[in-house]
Chain A
């Protein structure tokens, strides 16, 4: 008799075969938040009506985005012969033409396409193969393995591509301890920024015999320039759900929460739908897949608060309180959500778990560097030719990512500054571009992978202005609980305001450092402790530029106070 999971797999494979192996073509339109912003909805509608009006035999789906945001809106067509051609920057009025030529007449519009895959090997003229494109070739997709291929709202498509086999294996073949050991052996480090070994964190929670234990997954993701957590949830929510269930099993927890910031609409919708589908399929709830393990999961939302992403503030938020950090100890593993033992992990961390369980720790350990195994999911934005979300192996240098994957600077001559890992982390100048993407190497360079966002600035970016924007963000987002952060950020912002207005005196730099040091040593949580990082790193890489502005000179190529910044009136009554 087939097991419950085998039955599910059989249904999934049937569904996938219908889509990919039948007589119909499959038109996939890349979705996601950035696709939506680029106009993907209109393209999708146009594709549907084109199929209707031409009467061709084709399925149309809104699938996950590939992460190549510079090509959005994006549409691809899989023909029954197995060839797949990708069209980028599609405008809705072109869709009918593409469908008519490609599906009806069997003549792809290669001049409008950017790549192809599959088929009989003869290719399509000059059109490059997808996997040969540098933005794809250099990637190694683990957490984002299904991007561009499956419909995030369809559980069966996920299962058909190997989904939930890891969960099935974990529940039927492995003990919780073995999973924790596997994750430890894989060297998976937390991707939320602190880079703490995930397996070790899990092992704090696992031994507790408490009747109720929680595993939380953090998708507050408020860092400007970071969109990989949202990206994973909206494009492939089940990889997260599966990982979180495994996390729950490994730590013998009873409840999971996916915590998402209000306003991240597509991820919220995707996570809710995925959880409901997982319940429906017996992957959540009582006796998962017919085993003894039971696990409940739900989505919890915050208000607009950056600090709600701090792990204990997040727990306060779930409890319905003002999201301010708690002091530690007690640590969450002892008393977390509702004072129960709790583990909290970032979306990316959890999303690697299914593949680690499926392929083994050795495989994962083999990717990346000695100290940081696996991949980095970087989000490139700013003055970069190919903005997007790319999963690259740890150990690539920043320069490789920028030049080869990102295609180098856009609108300008050179990349001057990088803001990596969110506004609590450092700025990087050109001399640091040969740093490896690796937790330890980055931190030695005075920056951090952090959340994975890299905002690129060309030579027109003024560092003091950039600093001011970052500190204004930090100041505005301080929860106001501990004195050093609440007041320190306000004063740092004030000093930067003066610098931007050419009113700063040379003593202001020392003052900035003094305030920054108090914040670092005195603050309750990371928001204040790390708040001086951008300035510290800017002094390291752009010291001259900052000092020149103290002397009352305008730095070359820069304009202070260009009006793009948050006005100080928002931060004072």
Chain B
């Protein structure tokens, strides 16, 4: 069986791979068998029965569902006999009795337009031409393949249900549902959310939400997986609902470093009308998230900047590129090297960053260059030092096979969403999960051990776990002796750690630390997902050190389903670092630039502002700092708080308007492709910088296309050596390229890793000295708490009492009681949260609260900016004060 089963389909010899069903084998051979409930990469279901085939084996003949039946050796499968076709026709005919089908069964199906008069008197609302899925309906294909008659003798029952259009991003019209349950299953067995469920049974079985009518409280993460798999018009994206696509282009989402491969559907006006996750995508395996699935349409927005603007008399006025470039040459050229800075876009491509870095180095001669979201500097740079690259040691989907997982101060479900999918799969399949986080996040709900420590004590806690592992001799002795260079040093250092003291300092029960140690170390494959939310740079470095040490002593490096996965911000931060668009030792990094702008040390700047928002916590002070500049050039897609301070604004092309490459967090270089040509004078990042460089007399900035830029990158940047666009056409490639087993670092059994020499006091020194730290949490749903969904206008919104978790000691010192209405204020007086005090905080000094993802989804959906993804607030920690809420304030999720 290991090498497959040989059998025949319609007389053709076919070899099924082990574990394949007849349908899957047929699909590999491009033999058409209709199906409705089956979907690639999902478990077979066997409910639609449209895939019935005739199988003759061992002298017996039977009719089976090909989606669930494995082929028998030497079986003869007939897909199209009169009998099978008749059976299929009968099943489809039954299906037609509850799905509008006047057009489906009509020979004019391809000929009619929406405005045509129907000779057959098919009700307008029952026509295919007005169905949002008309051009991409799987049901239609199936119906046509069985050749139904014009009419069926069965009675047609329209369900006449109201259409759900009141939740964010997508509509649900269960009048068109055929109850194939693909959506329910993708939500459950692929996304592990179970936000959707089958309701009722028999003839009235249907799809619905698990708790009621709205997706906002059902645990939906608005990833759109259900929309992607729906074979009918039941589930449709609300934007461009009825748009017909004329072409499909495979490209990459540039919202986060997962780098999901997406299929963009483009209409005849060159607009991107839909984004679907690509099943062939190696980084995302057919999945996407709210931002990737629904946050694409800013490229089509009419408020896009169309041409350059130059500030005259305080007002930005229309200008030509030539005028703008003149002004820039003067403005930037006018300053000393150290007085200028270049900030690149987090969405920028490798080409953009490379040309920008070259420009900074050779034209401006300044070391001040950084990527806007490279605020995670410490996470990546420390990892670079420790494991040789500031990226994941293993592929993202390797996580699905992990047997234990440790997630540290990261919230992948929201910020690197698709990375959480294989992690959740591993947990569903029995992997043990340990989460170290002061905030409540989605993953804490699945955690076997949720360590909710005193903020800043994370590194100490991880070192404590390592200590507990050594204590109980759970380390991987082989790995420790053969692969770690200086294991003894680490052991000696950890022997000095007193677990009881770790427990006291971190505020975590010693036994829980030991349990976490056992859970992580006793599995065959443990992976560490490492974030740095709320950590300072020095703490981050210690957390990285402690995590690498932990991975090393447990032997979780260099083998599948283990390793370290950094959660950083910015889709192409890694690419930016690779091609040199980061501050070196002499240059200022992004934070340094912002403070140098405020102090007047930096006087002129070029900002590539696509995806840069003052809303991002690390960039909050940027807009104010820009005000002090003498000269500012901004390349942007939209008018924003960044362009307000600009002297010259250049129109930027978006992700959809360029061929370029980006590098994701698993070291995969992937190709963006032009899905829509720029309509006006927009230029891509590298074109813009090259134009400026040429205008300023720079040398070597004449490129004929993005691929020539990339060829130059491949020549100059070692990790990309040998890569070309040609090679990337068939999918992303992970570096180190042309190296066997390069997808997993340290897989060479001769490679060595060194461990650190932790010092207790240094690690304990990271523990926050703030009196109170506010750690906001967010989860997909909280079934234990009541949620009311209200519909004040057209849309649903979540309305529930906010609870503020505080420690009784903190309440006492603030003079508050349990049950009081209180508010949490930041140091600058900003109200962070308001609600009822509950004594549920495990730590003195830790204030928590948990909101629902549905609230965030509504907020994003209602945001006026078309480019809303940079506005998604993360869950940053902040120093806070507590006070009684002013009388008369509502109890809702407050924040002003």
Q: Lowest 3 A-B CB distances belong to which pairs?
A: A480-B205, A327-B46, A490-B203
Contacts A491-B154, A507-B153, A573-B204 given; does A515 touch B49 at CB 8 Å: no
- Out of A479, A517, A521, which one reaches B202, CB within 8 Å? A479
Please name all residues of chain A whose beta carbon is closer than 8 Å to the beta carbon of B856 when the two chains form the complex.
none
Q: Is B641 an interface residue (CB 8 A)?
A: no
**CA–CA, A432 and B328, complex, Å:** 101
A486 with B157: CB separation less than 8 A: no
Q: Are B47 and A518 in contact (CB under 8 A)?
A: no
Contacts of B203 in A (CB 8 A): 475, 478, 480, 486-487, 489-490, 571-572
> Once the chains are docked, how many angstroms separate the CA of A478 from the CA of B45?
17
Tell me whether B161 is interfacial, beta carbon within 8 Å.
yes
With most chain A CB atoms within 10 A of its CB, the pick from B46, B49, B68, B98 is: B49
CB-defined contacts of A476 to chain B, threshold 8 Å: 202
**A484 to B63 Cα, complex, angstroms:** 14
Q: Contacts A327-B68, A482-B49, A494-B155 hold; do A322 and B94 have CB atoms under 8 A apart?
A: no
Say whether B46 contacts A524, CB under 8 Å. yes
A518 near B204: Cβ-Cβ < 8 Å = no
**B49, A480: Cβ atoms under 8 Å?**
no
- CB atoms of B87 and A487 under 8 A apart: no
CA–CA, A489 and B154, complex, Å: 12
A487 contacts which of B68, B94, B198 (Cβ < 8 Å)? B94
Known: A491-B154, A518-B91, A522-B90. A479 touches B46 (CB 8 A): no
Q: Contact mask B36-47 → A, CB, 8 Å, 1/0?
A: 000000001111
Contact of B204 among A305, A327, A572 (CB under 8 A): A572
Once bound together, how far apart are the Cα atoms of A480 and B178, in whole Å?
A: 11
The minimal Cβ–Cβ distance linking A310 to chain B, given in whole angstroms, is 13
A residues less than 8 Å from B95 (CB atoms): 483, 487
Q: Does B324 contact A (CB under 8 A)?
A: no
CB pair A329–B69 under 8 Å, yes or no, is: yes
Is A15 an interface position by the 8 A CB rule? no
* A112 within 8 Å of B (CB atoms): no
Min distance, Cβ B62 to any Cβ of chain A, angstroms? 10
A14 at the interface (CB under 8 A from B): no
List CB contacts (< 8 Å) of B69-117 with chain A: 69-70, 87, 90-91, 94-95, 97-98
Q: Is B586 an interface residue (CB 8 A)?
A: no
Q: Are B200 and A480 in contact (CB under 8 A)?
A: yes
Contacting pair B179 A480 (CB below 8 A): yes
Interface residues of B in 328-377 (CB under 8 A from A): none
Within 8 A of B (CB), among A458-505: 475-484, 486-491, 494
Contacting residues, chain A, for B204 (C-beta < 8 A): 480, 571-573
- The interface bits of chain A over 541-573 (1 if a CB of B lies within 8 angstroms of the residue's CB, else 0) are 000000000000000000000000000000111
The answer to whether A486 touches B90, judged by C-beta atoms less than 8 angstroms apart, is: no
Residue B65 at the A interface, CB < 8 A? yes
Q: Are A484 and B201 in contact (CB under 8 A)?
A: no
B205 touching A484 by the CB < 8 A rule? no
| Contact flags B738-782 to A (C-beta < 8 A → 1, else 0) | 000000000000000000000000000000000000000000000
- A330 — nearest CB in chain B belongs to which residue? B70
- How far does the Cβ of A389 sit from chain B's closest Cβ, in whole Å? 30
Q: Is A511's CB within 8 Å of the partner chain B? A: yes
Given known contacts A329-B70, A511-B153, A522-B49, A484 and B94 CB-to-CB distance under 8 angstroms: yes
- Let me know if A477 and B90 touch, CB within 8 A: no
The answer to whether A414 has its CB under 8 Å from any CB of chain B is no
Q: Residues of B contacting A523 with CB < 8 Å? A: 49
Residue of A nearest to B205 (CB): A480
Q: Does B52 contact A (CB under 8 A)?
A: yes
From B94, which residue of chain A is reached at the shortest CB distance? A487
Cα distance, A489 to B98, chains bound together (Å) = 13
A514 contacts across to B, CB distance below 8 A? 90
Other than A480-B205, A486-B202, give 7 A-B pairs with Cβ distance below 8 A: A305-B201, A327-B65, A476-B202, A477-B202, A486-B205, A487-B97, A489-B203
Q: Say yes or no: A483-B154 contact (C-beta < 8 A), given A476-B202, A518-B87, A571-B203.
A: no
> In the complex, A329→B98 CA distance in Å?
30
Within the assembled complex, what's the spacing in Å between the Cα atoms of A407 and B559? 77
Enumerate A286-338 residues with CB–CB distance to B below 8 Å: 305, 307, 322, 327, 329
CA separation between A253 and B46, bound complex, in Å? 30
Q: Do residues A573 and B159 form an inter-chain contact, with CB atoms below 8 A?
A: yes
B205 in contact with A524 (CB, 8 Å): no
Nearest residue, chain B, Cβ from A487: B94
Answer whether residue B48 sits at the interface, using C-beta atoms and an 8 A cutoff. Answer: yes
* Contact pattern, B 144-181, Cβ under 8 Å of A = 1, otherwise 0: 00000000011101010100000000000000001101
**Pairwise interchain contact B87-A511, C-beta atoms closer than 8 A:** no
Contact of B49 among A322, A483, A490 (CB under 8 A): A483
CA distance A494 to B90 in the complex (A): 17
Main secondary structure on chain A at its contact with chain B?
Answer: helix
CB atoms of A515 and B44 under 8 A apart: no
Residue from the set B91, B155, B157 with the largest chain A CB neighbour count within 10 Å: B91
Q: Which residue of chain A lies nearest to B63 when distances are taken between CB atoms in the complex?
A: A521
User: Which B residue sits closest to A498, measured CB to CB?
Assistant: B155
Q: Is the CB of A488 within 8 A of B94?
A: yes
Please, what's the 1-or-0 string for B673-705, where 1 marks a CB less than 8 Å from any CB in chain A?
000000000000000000000000000000000
Among residues of A, the one whose C-beta sits closest to the C-beta of B174 is A573
Task: Give the chain A neighbours of B91 by CB distance below 8 A.
Answer: 483-484, 518, 522
Q: B63: which A residues are within 8 A, CB to CB?
A: 521-522
- Minimum CB–CB distance from B159 to chain A (whole Å) comes to 7
Residues B157 and A572 in contact, CB atoms below 8 Å apart:
yes
Whether the Cβ atoms of B202 and A484 lie closer than 8 Å is no
> How far is it, in angstroms, between the C-alpha of A515 and the C-alpha of B153 when the chains are bound?
11
Interface residues of B in 179-208 (CB under 8 A from A): 179, 181, 198, 200-205
> Smallest CB-CB separation from B36: which chain A residue?
A483
- Complex formed: what's the CA distance from A527 to B824 in Å? 59
**Interface 1/0 per residue, B18-55 and A, CB below 8 Å:** 00000000000000000000000000111111101000
Contact of B52 among A322, A491, A522 (CB under 8 A): A522
Q: In the bound complex, do residue B87 and residue A522 qualify as a contact, i.e. CB atoms below 8 Å apart? A: yes
Q: A573 to B46, Cβ gap below 8 A?
A: no
Query: What separation, in Å, do the CA atoms of A488 and B91 have in the docked complex?
Result: 9
10 contacts between A and B (CB under 8 A): A305-B201, A307-B201, A477-B202, A478-B202, A478-B203, A479-B202, A483-B48, A484-B49, A484-B91, A521-B63
The answer for the CA separation of A476 and B205 in the assembled complex, in Å, is 11
Q: How many angstroms from the CA of A481 to the CA of B181 in the assembled complex?
A: 9
CA distance A518 to B48 in the complex (A): 12
Q: Of B47, B68, B159, which is in contact with the most chain A CB atoms at under 10 Å from its CB?
A: B47
Given contacts A329-B70, A478-B202, contact A487 B46 (CB under 8 A): no
> Which among A488, A490, A494 has the highest number of chain B CB atoms within 10 Å?
A490
Residues of chain A with a CB closer than 8 A to B49's CB = 482-484, 522-524
Complex CA–CA separation, A489 to B90 (angstroms)? 13
State whether B201 touches A480 (Cβ < 8 A): yes
Residues of B within 8 A of A479 (CB): 201-202, 205
Determine if B44 and A327 form an interchain contact, defined as CB atoms under 8 angstroms apart: yes
A518 to B96: give the CA distance in the assembly, Å: 14
CB proximity of A92 to chain B, nearest CB, Å: 42
A554 to B793, CA, bound (A): 56
Chain B nearest Cβ from A307, distance in angstroms: 8
The chain A residue sitting closest to B202, CB to CB, is A478
The complex places the Cα of A430 from the Cα of B97 at a distance, in Å, of 38
Q: What is the CA–CA distance of A423 and B535 in the complex, to the nearest angstrom?
A: 66
In the docked arrangement, what's the CA distance between A487 and B45, Å? 17
Q: How far is the CB of B7 from chain A (nearest CB, A)?
A: 15
Q: Which residue of chain B is the closest to A490 with respect to CB atoms?
A: B203
CA of A475 to CA of B200 in the docked complex: distance in angstroms?
Answer: 13
Min CB–CB distance B452 → chain A (angstroms): 29
Measured between alpha carbons, how far is A346 from B87 in the docked complex, in Å? 33
Which residues of the other chain, B, contact A494 by a CB distance below 8 angstroms?
155
Most chain-B CB neighbours within 10 Å: which of A477, A487, A490? Answer: A487
Q: Tell me if B90 and A518 are in contact (CB < 8 A).
A: yes
Q: Mark B399-436, 1 if CB is under 8 A from A, else 0.
A: 00000000000000000000000000000000000000
* Whole-angstrom CA separation of A494 from B224 in the bound complex: 37
Bitwise interface map of A from 509 to 536 toward B, beta carbon under 8 Å scored 1, else 0: 0010011011001111000000000000
